[in-house]
């Protein structure tokens, strides 16, 4: 990444450097795994002519990648098949993002990639280079809870708490995109995150109250 | 792990007795903090991401385990070759049935056990071999490289077929595991006395727990000591099973489970993966993280057994039930796992009836063994019983709430000697619930709507329940450390499975010792450092642990009062301490308020640093039974064109004794309703009966849990707060299970109210609703044609 503010970075077609190092087709034919993952998250990095020309990585090779997570850069060696979730949890030690299914069904692994909630289990680490990644840990304000987290705590929007970091991050992403959602938008926005404990009514309340808190916070003095 | 180690170095030498359990304290009068809406004491950890769940544990040098499972529902393993896998990149250990130390017995119950890696695979998902490697990816690669020769056998995966003669046998000797019958009175006489008799057959599909955190553990050895971080509902139950299977002393097995991401009954005990994790850690001399894949969690770690129930009931015109008969079967899978357990309970205990006969047959099939699932047996039975109650009410033309009110029992009819309940709020649940819900009006409005043309129909339905346990009981031990600055450390073995156990116990401490919850620190769920507790299940954690915590606080308080009495120059021996009481930060004399001492300044407390209070759970009342009750009400909308059913609102009226924390109480009620919606409307296991016997929908896409869009946000909780002081010294009964019992039946009744269609089988999803509508329309059409033909014939004739 050169100069750009990652949050505003758009991955312009054909010119974006995020895709250096691996092509989607090359990756799929060489490894024959993770096809669904790449397809589902392919929108992140659409295949382009420029991307095709880039160097290939063999299955067993480690790629040196730099990930920007919660505002810090981490450079590490990663196998092309490693998911972003695996790297975040096991290599960076950020275990707030959880593993529920590793197949894009539950949302326990939800992180923000350039402000958009995404399943980190369906995103390869190599794909996430150059993007601004935010995990639940990144929503903290030092040792203090962020507004969405605070709302979840106050409304008791969880039971076992295992889906909770994913719910919190999903809510944060939706509120960043739309600070004042309708009830229906909240439900739709949160429907990609399963809660087996069934804390949905409280989650719903928490997201509404978080929207309120964020709006007040943004307004300065409140 | 070698031979059973000797434990006692002497025999017949007396050891000091533990202190006698204390006398029961007076019930609380007006509470100051109990019953308020208090956010969780561990909420910060859970929302910040700092809570370390077992699946988050990372130890230096830790590697990752993976298990190879039988892809066939029935096969015999002829050979397993792990050599190639063992030599793959990153692989540190590979084990199978032939590996040294892996030849262990795995007990399913007291009588039935198999080998840990048993060559006879009776269900898809049985364990064959395991590996541990530096990354989970390498472990999966190695699993794929294991060569297994199977002798694939024919299978049976439908319990209805398994009972037919000539069926494939899961175990030699037939698929009928056992038939349990109960009888009281004379059902034939009851049917003869009835004004109306209804008979109907129901089926509930298999439901799978699928907690968000996968099943698994991290295992680590230090010489002959084993430490396991397990995602579990009970560290002590895991400890005893691990020690039993590995033939180790309990003291050398430490289980830690500070946090866990849901279990719903499927994590009450150790599993094969716990043992496999320990074996891999031993073989690799490294800590091993051993978690299942989501697919494996669908087939290998429990389910709610599918059930088939034919019910016949008789009723008099005034609503009196004259007879209840239940006959059917269910399956706990390939091993004894309580396939029919408690399905009959509601038929026998919930509504007054003199003549009852139940007969349920437990059947083997080639599928994963069942495990307890939130209120075992009850939602199944409730599905049939609550629909039957509505059908009877329709026959005699009375209101569904009224027919239930007519049959409220005063005693537990299913138990020996018909003991009374310590408290029963069923009637109030029905009355207050119906009133708050606006039952009468909602019924009328729905009926008015349904008279109009239009494809959106409305329905209102309800159901009641009792839960067989929920009173808790001994044993439990809790330690409270009261520090010299007045802050408190609470030490208990119980797990907080998401129900808010830690928070409720902090409130008990706060209530009893007058301290703020913020100065209470809780240590729990660690066999190495916390006290003995049974697993969190059966809705018994609050009624078991809360009184124990209270006892521990009282014990600490009594010691502190004695110390204060000394400081105040009172005669401790003369029981002057009884004249003293806690008042904020002071201990004050009741008779002479000028006599007081600040707790922080009590000399002996300062010298000792802390006072330790020990609490034990006392016995339950004799000749009485402690049970929670409930009634739930709902309103649905049915789109008769698409078959979609939308649940518009739900209300749960629950008698679980005293409300300990209103916030977590509401959350339990809503969560139970959500799970009941899943059971009734979205969830079912599909086994490929024809070709492979495998589960076809072992993922959350094809096995659908309710999402935020499938449950109403309009949910109401109505606590029926009878403080049950006979139950225990806190007056609380269990809540976690009754909340999910009547839900599905209530939905079926509401859908019937909307459409006139009776859904006897779960799940009520758009496919089945559409099919049923098509069938009904076709039948109506055929009926009309037959009628007009008849009319024509008559005319012609
Ligand atoms: S773990 Fe990523 S969606 Fe379930
Ligand atoms: S809080 Fe347990 S899964 Fe959501």
Q: Which pLDDT band, with edges at 50, 70 and 90, does B430 fall under?
A: very high
Question: What's the average model confidence in pLDDT over A61-88?
Answer: 96
Whether residue B554 sits in one domain with residue B675: no
Question: What's the average model confidence in pLDDT over B762-767?
Answer: 97
How does the average pLDDT of chain B come out, rounded? 95
| Among the ranges given (A103-112, B28-37, B223-232), the one the predictor scored with the smallest mean pLDDT | B28-37
Judge whether B650 lies within some domain.
Answer: yes
Q: Residue B84 has which token pair?
A: 């190639």
B498 contacts in A (CB within 8 Å)? Answer: 158-161, 197
Judge whether B699 lies within some domain.
Answer: yes
| pLDDT score for A5 | 44
Segment B303-358, tens digit of pLDDT: 999 999 999 999 999 999 999 999 999 999 999 999 999 999 999 999 999 999 99
**A137: containing domain:** 54-215
Question: What's the average model confidence in pLDDT over B91-96?
Answer: 98
| pLDDT score for B59 | 98
Domain boundary among B548, B582, B616: B616
B53 contacts in A (CB within 8 Å)? Answer: 95, 98, 162
Question: What's the average model confidence in pLDDT over B41-67?
Answer: 98
A103 contacts in B (CB within 8 Å)? Answer: 294, 699
Task: Report helix, strand or coil for B150.
Answer: strand
| pLDDT score for B580 | 87
| pLDDT score for B386 | 98
ipTM of model: 0.95
Segment B139-164, tens digit of pLDDT: 999 999 999 999 999 999 999 999 99
Q: How far apart are CA B404 and CA B430, in angstroms?
A: 8
Segment B268-283, tens digit of pLDDT: 999 999 999 999 999 9
Say if CB A152 and CB A158 are below 8 A apart: yes
B353 vs B24, more confident: B353
Phi-psi sector, B514: left (phi>0), alpha (psi -120 to 50), beta: left
Q: Do B44 and A153 touch (CB under 8 A)?
A: yes
The angle, 0 to 180 degrees and rounded to 10, between the axes of the packed helices B541-567 and B501-513 is: 30
Q: Which pLDDT band, with edges at 50, 70 and 90, does B613 fall under?
A: very high
Rounded to two decimals, what is the model's pTM?
0.92
Judge whether B203 lies within some domain.
Answer: no
Pocket of ligand 1 (CB under 6 A): A 99-102, 104-109, 119, 121
pLDDT(A215) > 80: yes
Segment A154-185, tens digit of pLDDT: 999 999 999 999 999 999 999 999 999 999 99
B595 vs B307, more confident: B307
Beta bridge partners of A64: A77
Any idea what the CATH number is for the domain that residue A78 is in? 3.10.20.30
Whether residue B521 sits in one domain with residue B477: yes
Q: How far apart are CA B57 and CA B45, in angstroms?
A: 15
pLDDT(A54) > 60: no
Judge whether A116 lies within some domain.
Answer: yes
Judge whether B20 lies within some domain.
Answer: no
- Selected for mutation to probe chain A from B48, B50, B717 (highest A CB count within 10 Å) is B48
- Tell me the CA–centroid distance for residue A195 and ligand 2, in Å: 4
Q: Which pLDDT band, with edges at 50, 70 and 90, does B11 fall under?
A: low
Domain boundary among B300, B324, B339: B300
Judge whether A13 lies within some domain.
Answer: no
Q: Which pLDDT band, with edges at 50, 70 and 90, does B570 fall under?
A: confident
Question: What's the average model confidence in pLDDT over B726-736?
Answer: 95
pLDDT(B573) > 80: no
Q: Do A97 and B499 touch (CB under 8 A)?
A: no
DSSP codes, B722-755: ---TTT-TT-B---TTGGGSSHHHHHHHHHHHHH
Q: How far apart are CA A122 and CA A192, in angstroms?
A: 13
* Cα B207 to chain centroid, rounded: 13
| pLDDT score for A20 | 39
Number of domains in chain A: 1
**B645: containing domain:** 307-470+624-764
Whether residue B580 sits in one domain with residue B548: yes
Domain boundary among B273, B300, B327: B300
Give me the sign of the Cα torsion angle B88, B275, B302, B121. Answer: positive
Whether residue B570 sits in one domain with residue B535: yes
Judge whether A14 lies within some domain.
Answer: no
Segment B622-657, tens digit of pLDDT: 999 999 999 999 999 999 999 999 999 999 999 999
Judge whether A2 lies within some domain.
Answer: no
Any idea what the CATH number is for the domain that residue B408 is in? 3.30.365.10
Judge whether B364 lies within some domain.
Answer: yes
Nearest residue on chain B to A188, alpha-carbon basis: B709
How does the average pLDDT of chain A come out, rounded? 82
Whether residue B82 sits in one domain with residue B97: yes
Whether residue B713 sits in one domain with residue B609: no
Segment B658-709, tens digit of pLDDT: 999 999 999 999 999 999 999 999 999 999 999 999 999 999 999 999 999 9
Whether residue B344 sits in one domain with residue B387: yes
| pLDDT score for A1 | 35
For ligand 2, atom 4, the nearest C-alpha belongs to A195
pLDDT(A95) > 50: yes
Q: Do A183 and B713 touch (CB under 8 A)?
A: yes
Whether residue B216 sits in one domain with residue B89: yes
DSSP codes, B68-81: EE-SSSSEEEEEEE
Judge whether A41 lies within some domain.
Answer: no
Say if CB B353 and CB B126 are below 8 A apart: no
Judge whether A89 lies within some domain.
Answer: yes
Beta bridge partners of B225: B222
A202 contacts in B (CB within 8 Å)? Answer: 666-667, 670
Atom in ligand 2 nearest the alpha carbon of residue A158? 1
Whether residue B578 sits in one domain with residue B521: yes
Closest CA to B128 of B289, B23, B245, B276: B276
Judge whether A178 lies within some domain.
Answer: yes
Number of domains in chain B: 3
Q: How far apart are CA B48 and CA A168, in angstroms?
A: 9
Judge whether A44 lies within some domain.
Answer: no
Share of chain B above pLDDT 90, in %: 89
- Tell me the CA–centroid distance for residue A196 and ligand 2, in Å: 5
Q: How far apart are CA B720 and CA B654, in angstroms?
A: 6
pLDDT(B767) > 60: yes
- Using the Cβ of A61 and the Cβ atoms of chain B, whether some distance falls under 8 Å is answered with no
Type and span of the H or E element at B43: helix B43-48
Question: What's the average model confidence in pLDDT over B35-56?
Answer: 97
Q: Residue B385 has which token pair?
A: 């019983």
Share of chain A above pLDDT 70, in %: 71
Judge whether B453 lies within some domain.
Answer: yes
Q: Provide the Cα torsion B420, B424, B428, B434; round to 10°.
A: -100
Q: How far apart are CA B391 and CA B315, in angstroms?
A: 10
- Using the Cβ of A102 and the Cβ atoms of chain B, whether some distance falls under 8 Å is answered with yes
Pocket test for ligand 2, best of A99, A106, A197 (most atoms within 8 A of CB): A197
| Among the ranges given (A86-100, B99-113, B312-326, B673-687), the one the predictor scored with the smallest mean pLDDT | B99-113
Atom in ligand 1 nearest the alpha carbon of residue A98? 1
Between β-strands B520-524 and B488-492, what pairing exists: parallel, antiparallel or unpaired?
A: parallel
Q: How far apart are CA B587 and CA B736, in angstroms?
A: 38
Question: What's the average model confidence in pLDDT over B595-607?
Answer: 94
Q: How far is A199 from chain B (nearest CA, A)?
A: 6
| pLDDT score for B300 | 98
| pLDDT score for A43 | 41
- Tell me the CA–centroid distance for residue A98 and ligand 1, in Å: 8
Share of chain B above pLDDT 70, in %: 96
Q: Do B212 and A195 touch (CB under 8 A)?
A: yes
Among B44, B45, B262, select the one facing A197 at the smallest CB separation.
B262
Whether residue B486 sits in one domain with residue B466: no
- Tell me the CA–centroid distance for residue B45 and ligand 1, in Å: 21
Cα B117 to Cα A161, B67, B128, B370, B621, distances in angstroms: 34, 11, 5, 19, 45
Q: Which pLDDT band, with edges at 50, 70 and 90, does B7 fall under?
A: low
| pLDDT score for A48 | 52
A94 contacts in B (CB within 8 Å)? Answer: 49
- Tell me the CA–centroid distance for residue B211 and ligand 2, in Å: 8
Segment A2-51, tens digit of pLDDT: 333 444 444 444 444 444 334 333 343 334 333 333 434 444 554 555 45
Residues contacting residue B663 through CB under 8 Å, at least 6 positions apart: A156, B37, B38, B39, B500
Phi-psi sector, B125: left (phi>0), alpha (psi -120 to 50), beta: left
Whether residue B259 sits in one domain with residue B145: yes
Q: How far apart are CA B668 and CA B680, in angstroms?
A: 18
Say if CB B470 and CB B539 are below 8 A apart: yes
Whether residue B423 sits in one domain with residue B500: no
Say if CB B226 and CB B246 are below 8 A apart: yes
Q: Counting Cβ atoms within 10 Å, is residue A212 exposed (0-12), middle (13-18) or buried (19+)?
A: middle
Judge whether B279 lies within some domain.
Answer: yes
Say if CB B346 and CB B382 are below 8 A apart: yes
The residues of B annotated as belonging to the active site are 737
pLDDT(A141) > 50: yes
Among B45, B210, B293, select the one facing A196 at the smallest CB separation.
B210
Q: Residue B676 has which token pair?
A: 């009941």
């Amino acid at each position: 990444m050169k100069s750009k503010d990652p949050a505003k970075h758009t991955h312009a077609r054909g010119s974006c450097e995020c895709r250096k190092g691996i092509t989607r087709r090359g990756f799929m034919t060489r490894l024959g795994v993770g096809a669904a993952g790449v397809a589902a998250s392919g929108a992140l990095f659409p295949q382009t002519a420029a991307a095709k020309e880039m160097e290939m990585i063999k299955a067993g090779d480690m790629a040196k990648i730099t990930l920007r997570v919660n505002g810090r850069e981490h450079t590490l060696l990663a196998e092309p098949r490693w998911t972003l979730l695996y790297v975040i949890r096991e290599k960076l030690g950020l275990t707030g993002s959880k593993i529920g299914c590793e197949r894009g069904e539950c949302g326990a692994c939800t992180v923000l990639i350039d402000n958009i909630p995404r399943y980190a289990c369906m995103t390869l680490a190599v794909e996430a280079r150059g993007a601004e990644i935010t995990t639940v840990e990144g929503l903290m304000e030092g040792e203090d809870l962020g507004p969405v987290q605070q709302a979840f705590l106050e409304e008791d929007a969880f039971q076992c708490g295992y889906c909770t970091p994913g719910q919190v991050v999903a809510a944060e992403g939706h509120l960043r995109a739309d600070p004042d959602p309708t009830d229906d938008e909240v439900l739709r926005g949160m429907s990609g995150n399963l809660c087996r404990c069934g804390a949905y009514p409280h989650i719903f309340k928490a997201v509404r109250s978080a929207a309120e808190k964020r709006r007040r916070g943004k307004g300065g003095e409140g | 792990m070698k031979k059973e180690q000797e434990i006692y170095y002497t025999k017949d030498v007396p050891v000091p007795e533990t202190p006698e359990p204390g006398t029961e304290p007076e019930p609380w009068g007006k509470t100051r903090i109990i019953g308020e809406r208090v956010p969780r004491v561990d909420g910060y950890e859970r929302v910040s991401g700092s809570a370390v769940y077992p699946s988050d544990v990372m130890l230096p040098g830790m590697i990752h385990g993976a298990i190879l499972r039988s892809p066939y529902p029935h096969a015999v393993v002829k050979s397993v070759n792990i050599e190639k896998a063992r030599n793959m990149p990153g692989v540190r250990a590979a084990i199978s049935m032939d590996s040294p130390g892996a030849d262990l017995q795995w007990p399913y119950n007291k009588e039935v056990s198999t080998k840990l890696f048993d060559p006879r695979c009776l269900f898809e998902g049985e364990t064959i071999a395991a590996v541990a490697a530096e990354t989970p990816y390498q472990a999966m690669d190695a699993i794929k490289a294991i060569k297994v020769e199977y002798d694939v056998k024919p299978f049976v995966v439908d319990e209805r077929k398994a009972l037919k003669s000539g069926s494939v046998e899961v175990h030699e000797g037939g698929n009928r595991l056992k038939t349990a019958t109960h009888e009281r009175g004379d059902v034939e006489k009851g049917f003869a006395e009835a004004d109306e008799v209804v008979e109907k057959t129901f089926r509930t599909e298999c439901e799978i727990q699928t907690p968000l955190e996968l099943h698994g553990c991290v295992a680590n050895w230090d010489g002959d000591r084993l430490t396991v971080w397990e995602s579990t509902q009970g560290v002590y139950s895991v400890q005893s099973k691990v020690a039993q299977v590995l033939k180790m002393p309990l003291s050398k097995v430490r289980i830690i489970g500070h946090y866990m991401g849901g279990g719903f009954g499927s994590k009450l005990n150790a599993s094969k993966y716990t043992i496999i994790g320990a074996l891999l850690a031993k073989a690799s001399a490294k800590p091993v993280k051993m978690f299942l894949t989501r697919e494996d969690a669908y087939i290998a770690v429990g389910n709610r057994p599918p059930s088939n129930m034919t019910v016949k009931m008789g009723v008099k015109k005034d609503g009196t039930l004259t007879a209840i008969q239940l006959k059917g079967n269910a399956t706990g899978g390939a091993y004894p796992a309580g396939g029919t357990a408690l399905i009959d309970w509601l038929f026998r205990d919930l509504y007054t009836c003199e003549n009852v006969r139940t007969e349920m047959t437990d059947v083997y099939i080639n599928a994963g063994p069942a495990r307890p699932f939130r209120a075992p047996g009850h939602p199944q039975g409730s599905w049939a019983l609550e629909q039957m109650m509505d059908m009877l009410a329709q026959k005699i033309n009375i209101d569904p709430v009224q027919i239930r009110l007519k049959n409220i029992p005063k005693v537990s009819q299913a138990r020996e000697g018909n003991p009374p309940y310590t408290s029963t709020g069923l009637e109030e649940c029905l009355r207050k619930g119906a009133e708050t819900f606006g039952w009468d009006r909602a019924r009328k409005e729905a009926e008015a709507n349904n008279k109009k043309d239009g494809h959106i129909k409305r329905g209102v339905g309800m159901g009641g329940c009792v839960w067989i346990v929920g009173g808790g009981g001994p044993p439990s031990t809790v330690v409270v450390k009261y520090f010299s600055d007045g802050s408190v450390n609470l030490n208990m073995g119980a797990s907080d499975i998401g129900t808010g156990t830690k928070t409720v116990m902090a409130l008990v401490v706060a209530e009893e010792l007058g301290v703020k919850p913020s100065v209470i620190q809780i240590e729990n769920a660690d066999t190495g450092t916390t006290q003995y507790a049974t697993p969190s299940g059966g809705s018994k954690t609050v009624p078991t642990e809360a009184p124990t915590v209270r006892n521990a606080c009282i014990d600490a308080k009594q010691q502190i009062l004695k110390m204060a009495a000394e400081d105040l120059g009172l005669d401790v021996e003369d029981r002057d301490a009884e004249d003293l009481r806690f008042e904020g930060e002071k201990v004050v004399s009741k008779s002479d308020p000028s006599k007081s001492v600040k707790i922080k300044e009590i000399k002996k407390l300062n010298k000792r640093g802390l006072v330790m209070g020990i609490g034990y759970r006392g016995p339950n009342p004799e000749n009485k039974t402690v049970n929670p009750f409930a009634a739930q009400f709902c309103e649905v909308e049915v789109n008769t064109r698409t078959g979609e059913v939308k649940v518009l609102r739900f209300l749960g009226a629950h008698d679980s004794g005293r409300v300990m924390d209103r916030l977590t109480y509401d959350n339990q009620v809503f969560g139970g309703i959500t799970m009941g919606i899943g059971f009734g409307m979205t969830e079912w296991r599909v086994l490929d009966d024809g070709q492979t016997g495998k589960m076809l929908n072992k993922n959350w896409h094809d096995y659908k849990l309710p999402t935020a869009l499938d449950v109403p946000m309009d949910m109401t909780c109505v606590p029926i707060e009878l403080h049950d002081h006979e139950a225990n010294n806190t007056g609380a009964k269990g809540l976690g299970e009754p909340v999910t019992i009547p839900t599905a039946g209530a939905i079926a009744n509401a859908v019937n109210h909307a459409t006139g269609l009776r859904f006897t089988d779960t799940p009520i999803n758009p496919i089945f609703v559409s099919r049923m509508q098509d069938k009904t329309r076709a039948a109506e059409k055929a009926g009309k044609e037959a009628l007009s033909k008849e009319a024509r014939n008559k005319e012609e004739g």
